[in-house]
Amino acid sequence: NAGVTQTPKFQVLKTGQSMTLQCAQDMNHNSMYWYRQDPGMGLRLIYYSASEGTTDKGEVPNGYNVSRLNKREFSLRLESAAPSQTSVYFCASTVSGGSLYGYTFGSGTRLTVV
Amino acid sequence: GQQLNQSPQSMFIQEGEDVSMNCTSSSIFNTWLWYKQEPGEGPVLLIALYKAGELTSNGRLTAQFGITRKDSFLNISASIPSDVGIYFCAGLNYGGSQGNLIFGKGTKLSVKP
């Protein structure tokens, strides 16, 4: 049971470079989320997808784009990376947005922008 | 928007001691969740609470859903070194198109053997 799989686990980018963080879940969940975690800030929602074919902005969407490729996969793209985007990124999924069981998280992607 | 105030921010305790942390909000939630995050991993669900006043245990962990629906606490009894990590509370409201979880900023727990 893989749950939520994120790739890569670590990445170093130069300012201005682009990259895509991948996320896949094998639990047949409808809703998927991207969070960033910074020291002392907790988990902040970047974008979410309530269901296949829909995406919406969260609390901190600037500088990011997302694609819900299919029910399983939800990717996060940084078009032009900035040092302020140095963070740990977590993908999560749940059966549906109002699920009583909370979210299942991946193990994170640690991104450093120099 | 909705915010959760989680305290304390960090705790340094001796193995065997009991731990208590809490979350408060100015808004009502229908569900309270407690997560633990170990170093290098994503958060993992510990306890879910669904009714005001509910008290739920999971081994040495006990959590309560406040009667006003605006707060929750988590207790850990007889702490051990593997309890080390960051504990997050999260509140959830049903309905609407999403029902997003709102997270507290976490309580970092350090346990000295």
pLDDT in tens, chain B (113 residues): 667 899 999 999 999 999 999 999 998 888 899 999 998 899 999 999 989 999 999 999 999 999 999 999 999 999 999 999 999 999 887 654 455 788 999 999 999 98
Closest listed residue to residue A66, CA positions, set A34, A37, A27, A42: A34
Neighbours of A110 (CB within 10 A): 16
Omega of the bond leading into B8 within 30 degrees of 0 (cis): yes
Nearest CA in chain A to B37: A107
Best mutation site among A57, A87, A103, A110 for testing chain B: the one with the most B CBs within 10 Å?
A103
Cβ atoms of A44 and A60 within 8 Å: the answer is: yes
**What single-letter amino acid sits at B98?**
Q
Beta bridge pairs of residue A33: A48, A92
Chain-centre distance for alpha carbon A77: 9
CA distance A100 to B17: 32
Indicate yes or no: CB of A42 within 8 angstroms of CB of B88.
yes
| Residue numbers in B near A4 (CB within 8 A) | 42
Phi and psi angles of residue A84, each rounded to the nearest 5 degrees, phi first: -65, -10
How near does any CA of chain A get to the CA of B74, in Å? 17
A54 vs A95 pLDDT, higher one: A54
Query: A109-113 and A10-13: which strand pairing?
Result: parallel
Per-residue model confidence (pLDDT) at position B96: 47
Is pLDDT at A98 greater than 60 in this prediction? no
Nearest CA in chain B to A39: B105
Indicate yes or no: CB of B41 within 8 angstroms of CB of A107.
yes
From first CA to last CA, the distance across chain A in angstroms is 36
| Tens digits of residue pLDDT in A55-68 | 999 889 999 999 99
Closest listed residue to residue B72, CA positions, set B86, B57, B53, B85: B53
Indicate yes or no: CB of A42 within 8 angstroms of CB of B96.
no
Indicate yes or no: CB of A102 within 8 angstroms of CB of B35.
yes
Tell how many helices (H) and how many strands (E) occur in chain A: 0, 11
Per-residue model confidence (pLDDT) at position B97: 45
Closest listed residue to residue A38, CA positions, set A60, A58, A19: A60
Query: B10-14 and B107-112: which strand pairing?
Result: parallel
From first CA to last CA, the distance across chain B in angstroms is 40
Nearest CA in chain A to B40: A107
CA distance B34 to B15: 21
Neighbours of B45 (CB within 10 A): 16
How near does any CA of chain A get to the CA of B31, in Å? 7
